[in-house]
Structures are given as structure tokens and as C-alpha cells.
């Protein structure tokens, strides 16, 4: 099945990268396709599969001046509608992982008529100050080990070349994404340290992504 790709230009000139495969009547839009597209490409046998990299993520335009992104995830929600209109579809299903899992909800709140189904994979909670029961938090030994190793890695940050730090960081993250830690290395393609957006993701994460959730 042939895949097409390209860029969609938003109203303010920022370009979002996309990959598209399949020709089904229903469209499944995957957010941050640069690491999820390969794993879900098989779903294109029954629908049109569209994977889009969000602003300052993946192969979309790198925006080093973060002051130009004051709306953060709310802008991402509006970008989804721009993508939907670009492909001239009335409704999309949405799939997203981690912090991006919140964006389909924001989109559904603002554009309810244009949302079909929403799939959230390990979504960030909308309010980081909310305390949940232990069995709902996944704060287990794997997570505690990640925090300890991350603390050690942060001490070396100024000594390591940016790409090496990026790769070490994502190597630490991989066990959090799987049920069986022995499967972590199967996610090597999730790493995007060759891209300027992902190489600078930590700064973007701290200054733009996280503040709205720290209510």
C-alpha cells in the first residue's frame, strides 16, 4: 500500500509534516506520527490513516523561539482542525500517546461535530496536582528506577554532546512504554534524536508543554 507524505501549512506559516496511507471512508488521525506511524500502519486496510507531527515535534518545522508558541496544546487542537479541513473530511477519529493524549479531548470540546472516536494511550493527566490511588498511578519500581537514572543523567548533561544526551534520555524512557521491560528495545524507532525538534524536546517540554498541566 503506497504512502504519501508532505507538509500542511498552518495559517501562521508553520508547516506540519504528514504521512498518509489507505483510502478508507473513515480517517484515523495519529498525532506525532514520526514514532507511531509504523506501529499502526496496519490499520490502513480499513480506513485512511493520516499521521501528523505536532508543532515543534518530529519532522514538522522547528520553532526555536518558544515565545511564538504561547498557546501550547490549545494551538495543537486548532491545528488538528486545520488538518481536517485541508483533507476535506467532515469527521476524524483521533489517536494520541502521552501528553498528546490530552489534545484530542481539547479538540473534541471545541469541535465536537468533527470527532468520531478518541484513543488515548498512556495519556498525561490534565491536572498534575491531582492525587490518584496508588493502583492508578503506575509509580512502580520501573518508574522509580527511571527517576534515579534520569537524575544521574542530568548531572552529565553539560558533558555530553546533545545527540548523545538525547539518545541516553530516550533509552531510559523506553522501559516506561512497555509492559515487559525486555521489549523496550523494540521501540528504538521511537527515538528522533537526528531531528532538531526532538534534539531540543526537553526545553520545549519544560517551557511549553508542561505548564498548562501544572494547575
pLDDT tens string 109-164: 999 999 999 999 988 888 878 888 877 777 788 889 998 999 999 898 889 999 99
Q: Within 10 Å of residue 195's Cβ, how many Cβ atoms?
A: 18
pTM for the whole structure: 0.90
Structural contact between residues 198 and 57, judged by C-beta atoms closer than 8 angstroms: yes
Q: Are strands 15-21 and 48-52 parallel, antiparallel or unpaired?
A: antiparallel
pLDDT-above-70 percentage for the chain: 99
How distant, in Å, are the alpha carbons of 4, 5, 146, 175, 192 from that of 185?
28, 27, 15, 8, 14
Pairing of strands 27-31, 115-121: unpaired
Reply yes or no on whether the pLDDT at 215 is more than 60.
no
For 3-213, CATH gives 3.40.50.1820
Which residues are bridge partners to 28 per DSSP?
Answer: 49, 93
What is the per-residue pLDDT for 53?
98
What number of other Cβ atoms are within 10 A of residue 32's Cβ?
24
Tell me the mean pLDDT in the region 11-32.
96
Query: What distance in Å separates the CA atoms of residue 7 and residue 44, rounded to the nearest whole number?
Result: 20
Least confident of 81-95, 132-146, 176-190: 132-146
Give the pLDDT confidence of 28-57 residue by residue, as tens digits. 999 999 999 999 999 999 999 999 999 999
Three-class SS of the chain: CCEEEEEEECCCCCEEEEEEECCCCCEEEEECHHHHHHHHHHHHHCCEEEEECCCCCCCCCCCCCHHHCCCCHHHHHHHHHHHHHHCCCCCEEEEEEHHHHHHHHHHHHHCHHHEEEEEEECCCCCCCCCCCCHHHCCCCHHHHHHHHHHHHHHHCHHHCCHHHHHHHHHHHHHHHHCCCHHHHHHHHHHCCCCCHHHHCHHHHHHHHHCHHHCC
Question: What are 95's three cell numbers?
Answer: 489517536
Q: Count the neighbouring beta carbons within 10 Å of the beta carbon of residue 99.
A: 22
Looking at every residue in the chain, the average pLDDT score rounds to 92
Would you kindly state where each structural domain of the chain is located, as residue ranges? Answer: 3-213
The residues, any chain, with a CB within 8 Å of residue 116's CB and separated by 6 or more, are 26, 91, 92, 93
Amino acid at each position: 500500500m503506497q504512502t504519501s507524505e508532505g507538509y500542511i501549512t498552518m495559517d501562521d506559516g508553520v508547516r506540519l509534516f504528514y504521512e498518509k496511507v489507505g483510502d478508507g471512508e473513515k480517517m484515523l488521525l495519529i498525532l506525532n506520527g514520526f514514532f507511531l506511524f509504523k506501529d499502526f500502519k496496519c490499520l490502513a486496510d480499513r480506513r485512511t490513516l493520516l499521521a501528523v507531527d505536532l508543532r515543534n515535534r518530529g519532522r514538522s518545522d522547528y520553532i526555536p523561539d518558544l515565545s511564538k508558541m504561547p498557546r501550547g496544546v490549545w494551538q495543537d487542537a486548532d491545528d488538528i482542525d486545520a488538518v481536517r479541513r485541508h483533507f476535506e473530511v467532515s469527521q476524524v477519529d483521533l489517536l494520541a500517546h502521552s501528553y498528546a493524549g490530552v489534545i484530542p479531548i481539547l479538540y473534541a470540546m471545541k469541535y465536537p461535530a468533527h470527532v468520531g472516536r478518541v484513543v488515548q494511550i498512556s495519556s498525561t493527566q490534565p491536572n498534575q496536582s491531582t492525587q490518584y490511588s496508588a493502583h492508578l498511578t503506575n509509580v512502580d519500581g520501573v518508574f522509580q528506577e527511571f527517576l534515579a537514572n534520569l537524575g544521574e543523567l542530568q548531572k552529565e548533561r553539560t558533558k555530553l554532546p546533545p545527540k548523545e544526551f538525547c539518545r541516553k534520555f530516550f533509552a531510559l524512557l523506553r522501559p516506561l512504554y512497555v509492559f515487559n521491560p525486555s521489549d523496550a528495545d523494540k521501540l528504538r524507532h521511537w527515538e528522533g534524536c537526528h531531528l532538531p525538534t526532538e534534539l531540543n524536546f526537553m526545553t520545549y517540554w519544560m517551557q511549553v508543554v508542561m505548564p498548562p498541566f501544572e494547575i
